A = this chain, B = another copy of it.
């Protein structure tokens, strides 16, 4: 089976590499010729081009561009394709993508593989990136179940754990566990550097250890990705941020008024509950 992948960055490139290693004929499309050449040289794909018409021979196409380009890319490619081609995406937001994409292309299936590293671009491509990562498929009521199964099977083959839900539940869930963490983590870094006392900031930089490193990781990641999360999942992210902030006020109040039993209860609960997320 010939599979098309548009966008050969961390996600698209790593998916291409795994599928090539599984024996698929993978055709990559990138805006940059240099990326196409690199993808061929490193055996990430079998063929690559900067032109969309090369995708006409594929059966399933993965749009692996940044979220903001998914719908534009879809509009541009469909004129090159026979109508039975399945098109899917890897966008981290689904509600603002899937209904519109499905209107443009009936054989569209929304998906979101939740894998990544701090790096980006084709240089960051790695084999087995998706092993044990969750991948959410978000069909609409009128999405063909046969198409859903084909997309699920491909993600299953590269090692993902497959889940299925609506775009809305997906977006609310990822606002909590993916987009909110980016904002609170970025706010941590920003608050630490904006502090008025330079002696404190300098010592903080020297002393920052694994705790700061982990808590600040996603907030120090790709700015374009964080911005897209906020733009494309605005309402759900705002709900989460506001609830988060209200809860933070309660913690501040407990510390201020020395209600240590409340804080202890909270920290005991978070200690017990965290493993349920891992």
Chain A residues in contact with chain B, CB under 8 A? 114-116, 133-134, 136, 161, 163, 165, 169-170, 172-174, 176-178, 180-195, 197, 199-200, 203-223, 226-227, 230-231, 234, 237-238, 240-245, 247-249, 251-252, 255-256, 258, 260, 263-264, 266-271, 273-278
Interface-central residue, A211, A216, A237, A276, by most chain B CB under 10 Å? A211
Known: A115-B209, A116-B211, A214-B218. 12 other contacts (CB 8 A): A134-B207, A173-B200, A174-B204, A184-B184, A189-B277, A194-B243, A194-B247, A208-B278, A214-B217, A216-B274, A227-B264, A245-B248
**B192/A204 in contact, CB under 8 A:** no
Pick from B211, B223, B256, B264: contact of A267, CB below 8 A. Answer: B223
B residues less than 8 Å from A249 (CB atoms): 245
Interface of A is mostly: helix
**A268/B223 in contact, CB under 8 A:** yes
Q: How many copies does the complex hold?
A: 2
**B190/A247 in contact, CB under 8 A:** yes
B residues less than 8 Å from A163 (CB atoms): 203, 206-207
Bound-state CA distance A242–B210 (Å) is 23
Cβ distance A211 to chain B, nearest Cβ, rounded Å: 5
Cβ distance A248 to chain B, nearest Cβ, rounded Å: 5
Bound-state CA distance A114–B210 (Å) is 9
**A266/B192 in contact, CB under 8 A:** no
B residues less than 8 Å from A208 (CB atoms): 177, 277-278
